[in-house]
Structure 1
Amino acid sequence: MPFITEIKTFAALGSGVIGSGWVARALAHGLDVIAWDPAPGAEQALRKRIANAWPALEKQGLAPGAAQDRLKFVATIEECVRDADFIQESAPERLDLKLDLHAKISAAAKPEAIIGSSTSGLLPSEFYESATHPERCVVGHPFNPVYLLPLVEIVGGNRTAPEAIEAAKTIYTALGMRPLHVRKEVPGFIADRLLEALWR
């Protein structure tokens, strides 16, 4: 089955600093964005972060049709992902949480939609065990602020299809990012390990 590479609707699960950065970047590139986060006050906090980021995005240059009001916040995971062409999860770094989340995401998502995770500390083969169609699941690890810094590390799990890696590269590139394919699963991937070495 060919994976979707030209996206119109971006789903974001988790709206903290990283998740909101993804939302801002997707909106700035003229996409419709559907967001979900169960935390109290999450929608208001997300919209405030987007408004704060928008002047910097305007300076960089917005895509035709880019607008903050193309963000829709929904109450359930299923509503968030079922019509999405691409899904980015930015939930807290807990294996039990990600296992539960990806079981629900992958069950409700289009089978041809790539699912990315922003994780920097967990290995994709661990938390994608619960996923339906794990061959379309990748890590897309960004750097903060996501809406300004273009580097994204792409990591596949032991069941990720090579075609999914290529599709993810295409999608992230269309979002103005520079994908780096990390070919081996290692904790912290590449850039985080380099940063850790610099701080020692």
Structure 2
Amino acid sequence: MDVSVQSFPPATEVKRVGLLGAGVIGAGWATHFLRHGYDVMAYDPAPDGDRVAQQLVAAAWPTMERLGLAPGATPDRLEFAPSLEVMAGRVQVVQESGPENLETKIAAFAELDAALPAEVILLSSTSGLAMTEIQVRCRHPERTVVGHPFNPPYLIPLVEVVGGRQTAPEAVAWAAEFYRTSGKHVLELEREAPGFVANRLQEALWREALHMVATGEASVAEIDAAITEGPGLRWAAMGPCLTFHLAGGNGGM
């Protein structure tokens, strides 16, 4: 590793967040960080990326006002960079939220890695790709970390954090502290796993739902109602493991 972990700035002192990609997820991150009082600079290569992001943030902002804003929080603190290089020179951390395509992620991280100082942590919103694969062309892979949110990031607290094979443990810890400071609930994974945790669990339920529809055992509407009017309410408060543990009676399961 070419960079000393001591060179990472304190996560609690970050004030300026960079975003690569300002679509639905990127704009959702922008809304979250803006609400919590950060300055945000976004770069999106799409011709109408700036306009779309501004519309998405504006649509969500009344809800942010009702939930409560950090001192000085305003959508006016969102800027758009004319290039990745301009953004790289102005921010203290970058959250990448580009298309969920491995080659696209590899290229984006290689470009970010080349443009940013070695002490700037690079975060990816990938919903299932391994950071070990994304970081292969980075000169400083030790500072690359997955920070997978759930949509919309400004409403759903969870962010799953995990590094790749070449990621420094200190970078993972830094990312977790940064997200907690920004108001997220962090699930720090011990190691990479396909689909991380939450999507892995969702996929298991989704497979069974598709099977039941295909075999005529239940309709789409019935399956949705079975969750929203049943265990989904409990899971939101306790999760499936605690739910079954408590159902086991004295001593649990």
Fold match (TM-score > 0.5)? yes
The one of 193, 217, 222 equivalent to 1:186 is 193
Distance in 2, matches of 1:101 and 1:115, equals 11
SS where residue 148 of structure 2 aligns?
A: strand
What amino acid does structure 2 have at the position aligned with 1:26? F
Aligned to 1:21: 28
Aligned to 1:7: 14
Distance in 2, matches of 1:126 and 1:106, equals 15
Instruction: Please state if 1:159 is matched with 2:149.
Output: no
1:96 Cα deviation after fit: 1.4
1:121 Cα deviation after fit: 2.2
The one of 152, 167, 176 equivalent to 1:145 is 152
Number of residue pairs matched? Answer: 200
What amino acid does structure 1 have at the position aligned with 2:74? A
Aligned to 2:226: none
What amino acid does structure 2 have at the position aligned with 1:176? G
TM-score normalised over the length of structure 2: 0.77
What amino acid does structure 2 have at the position aligned with 1:113? V
1:108 Cα deviation after fit: 1.2
Instruction: Please state if 1:50 is matched with 2:74.
Output: no
Indicate the RMSD between aligned Cα atoms, in angstroms. Answer: 1.0
1:94 Cα deviation after fit: 1.4
1:110 Cα deviation after fit: 2.1
1:81 Cα deviation after fit: 2.0
Please say if residues 120 and 187 of structure 1, whose CA atoms lie closer than 8 Å, have aligned partners that are also in contact. Answer: no
Q: Give the share of equivalent positions with the same residue, in percent.
A: 49
Structure 2 residue runs of 5 or longer lacking an equivalent are 209-253
Structure 1 residue runs of 5 or longer lacking an equivalent are none
SS where residue 116 of structure 1 aligns?
A: strand
TM-score normalised over the length of structure 1: 0.97
Aligned to 2:181: 174
Aligned to 1:74: 81
Bigger fraction of residues in strand: 1
Which structure is higher in RCO with an 8 Å CA cutoff and minimum separation 6?
Answer: 1
Bigger fraction of residues in helix: 2
List 4+ stretches of structure 1 deviating above 2 A.
none
Cα-to-partner distance string for 1:121-142 (whole Å, 9 max, x where unaligned): 2110001111121111100000
Aligned to 1:102: 109
